[in-house]
Amino acid sequence: MFSVFARYRVVPPNGSFAANSVLLRVFYSGGMMQQRRLGDLSVTAVGLGCMPLSNGRMVDLREQALQTIHAALDQGITLLDTANIYAPAWDAVGHNEALVAEALRTYTGLAPLTNVLVTTKGGITRSLGEQWGRDSSPQALRRAYEDSLRTLDVSCIDLYQHHRHDPAMTYIDQVRALQLLKDEGLVRRIGLSNVTEAELDLAIGELGSASDGGVVSVQNELSPRHRADLDVLARFESVGIAFLPWSPLGGATHAKEFWPRFAAFADVADAVV
């Protein structure tokens, strides 16, 4: 069985989870957050995608952003998703990773942080003048990894995800560059993001699947609005790889439209309210 994680975004002006609390309650059973397998780990069925906390107005609301992560931890969330390029500008790369690190460092609640999995990504570049690119060469991934390691203030990254295909290289060479990091003990687990079914098959053939200690997770876009990767989803399920959908509510600019447009969300709300 593949694992499904839903990102939620909490930007509460008064500590209220508002509509997001409805989604959270769906994943509670017997007072406990439901768990999903991610490789050799068990994490909560709902994870916090931290990217929105480094965008738009949230950049100037750092204390509120920290409170958002703290609130997620208080709710029992044990999966925090970030990336080096989640930042308000090209010269602030690492902004979101630094925010996550600060949130964990300043957390004073009751949730055990030893159970929290922080995952980050590398492979996309941002440079002077907001020039976006891709670089998945072994040297570039090593640099990105080392920068993330310092920013997150950890000794090893528990789950490192390849962010997006580099068209200048074969995909097999890109996953081999990831494997080099794992072979050196620099990352504990490997994940992929924004992959096609063909790319996933190549990666599994080279690294193995979750049961082999190879690819343990894939993060692609999936929501009632975006259904393009259902073939990839079926492939995840067949090999036991965890699936971490990004923008499961359609993205920050579309989420408010979902309740009236997609009956499934209204059915969930009616069932738990």
Residue 169 φ/ψ, nearest 5 degrees = -135, 155
DSSP line for 46-68: EEEE-GGGGSGGGGG-HHHHHHH
Catalytic residue among 8, 86, 145, 160: 86
Q: Is 86 a residue of the active site?
A: yes
The answer to whether 67 and 106 have CB atoms below 8 angstroms apart is no
Tell me how many helices (H) and strands (E) the chain has. Answer: 9, 14
**Rounded distance between C-alpha atoms, residue 60 and residue 79, angstroms:** 24
Q: Which two tokens stand for residue 111?
A: 């949730």
**Rounded distance between C-alpha atoms, residue 255 and residue 121, angstroms:** 24
Cβ neighbours of residue 14 closer than 8 Å, sequence gap 6 or more: none
Helices 171-183 and 138-152, packing angle to 10 deg: 50
Question: What H or E segment, with its residue span, contains residue 177?
Answer: helix 171-183
**Rounded distance between C-alpha atoms, residue 121 and residue 86, angstroms:** 10
Catalytic residue numbers, as ranges: 86
